[in-house]
Structure 1
Amino acid sequence: MSDQYTSSQLTRGEVYTRKQLKALFSIKDATLNNGIFRPKGTPSIWLFVTQTKTADRTQYEDKLEGDILTMQGQTLGRTDDLIISHQRRGDELVLFYRAHKSQYPGYGFEYIGTFRYVSHAGAQPTGFTLQKIGEDPITRVLETLSDDLQGEHYFDVADIEDERKKVLRAIVQRRGQHPFRRSLLKAYKGSCCITGCKIEEILEAAHIYPYKGEKSNAVANGLLLRADLHTLFDLKHLSVDPKTYQVHLSAKLIGTEYQVYEGNKLLLPEQAENMPSRSSLASHFSEFIAQHTGLSVSTPVK
């Protein structure tokens, strides 16, 4: 097994039996037969949902309607936190679904896609509401912000660039910042400082204060962020309070899958010299506030 999302090896709409999944992912754990299963060594949580159960099974109330799944967790609640906190840990929720046990050959399940936690209520069992999400986090972010970005063709050099076009071009180019990124990967031990995600391929080096030459590539002027969060940070739909290191989101992201990070504190480096610069964060945070309130704010930092 690996630290890659298992969804990258699955095809939406394809039917998989547990035996096929066992062979595909080299699974030896017998708990694969449970309704909620985490393949060892992966950031994935598999949900096996049968809407209409046979009489000998616990009659959990589970139903998929469009992009919304309502389901009940295990009776004792031992796996509830896997679902509730999956985004904070950088885990994905993978749904395998069938209307009834014999719907597909070999008692298989259709792979529906990845889902996100929305809410929960009650206990023993806990009732969950989950929502289907897209496969590409960058695409989801840009779709969320489509009203802001509509009509901005940032590769058209004949146009006069505004600040957002520069930001979007930087998103495309920034993977070339190898030394800066390597330093941040080391300082943050290969984990996104907001989600804890450890998938190196989607971790990026984010400048807190915009790049102004090599001196800008100091570790203290950077955050190691998952690609979609880097985009949100650059577009100032996400910022960090310089006094508390708490994450704050724009109103547009409240009610989305990102809301789980609102108010969370950054996962900080162990070495004092690698701590994010409070003055750089103050500059970004004041621009974030001004962009979303229309107020010009000076954030004093001690």
Structure 2
Amino acid sequence: MSRSNSLLEKASQFDSNNSIKHEVAITLGSLKDFRQKYRFTENLREIEWLDPDKLFRVNPDETGIFFNLMETVLRPLVQTTINSTNAYRNARLQIKEFKKLLRTVVDDRVSLAQKIDAPWERIGGFGQNMQLALKIIYCFNYEKETLLPIFSVQHLKHFVNRVADMQVWKTKFFSFGQEYEHFTNELLRAKNNLELTKNWSNLYFTRFLYHTYPPPDTESAETAPSTSRRSSFIVTDEQLSLQDFMKLLGVLQKQGKITGEQFRENRDLWTRQPSEREMLVQRLKKLLTP
């Protein structure tokens, strides 16, 4: 059975009682409320009026309403969370830089890849884990239906591997943003190729993907089936990611950009720090010679 036929079969069986559709409607309503409160797209001046206390309050320290509201809105969607408030604090401390990034986020002339590749790393806690930047980009662009509330490239790759019939991943020299945009487009192409899913909102389609094809890192050991089929599924995903990473290291070593020792160090980093893999790959890709 082709992946598109399998996708159609699973989609036709999804959410038979419309409970998830109801939850999605609530989330979309909350997103609209968030955008009504922060009308940066409609009025750029409101970015300049953004008060530092809206980002992070001091004495006592607490997350400001901007990030609090955003995290609350996205909580039903996000599979991983940010455990430290340092990024919020740094956004307050570097509010001028943060406002520049917001202007890029709401600029319709800027592509999704360019918004992601903007200098988020200038604010401590944003560049190391792009999840927060991706959340902000989604909240201010969700209605365009050109992106999905999936805040991990690894998850995007995982879903593409499950639903796309044609897999041509020529992303070796892509930036992080270009790679994210590429796999987003592949998923949207698969969605829009089926009459059933074409009319679904991207948010509803994302809920379907996480429900039907859960990435290994979103399932606990207690709930994951212990069948040999499930074990094979997890290993295959890990192997795919590791295979791509090892190819990247091999190319860098061949180009003389890293030594054998650095090859081993980066391989060990990839193994020890799963949450940092995307940024590690991004840093290494910057060394590639086109």
Write 1 or 2 for the structure with the bigger share of helix.
Answer: 2
TM over 0.5: no
**Quick one: higher RCO (CA 8 Å, sep 6+), 1 or 2?**
2
Normalising by structure 2, report the TM-score: 0.29
Write 1 or 2 for the structure with the bigger share of strand.
Answer: 1
Normalising by structure 1, report the TM-score: 0.28
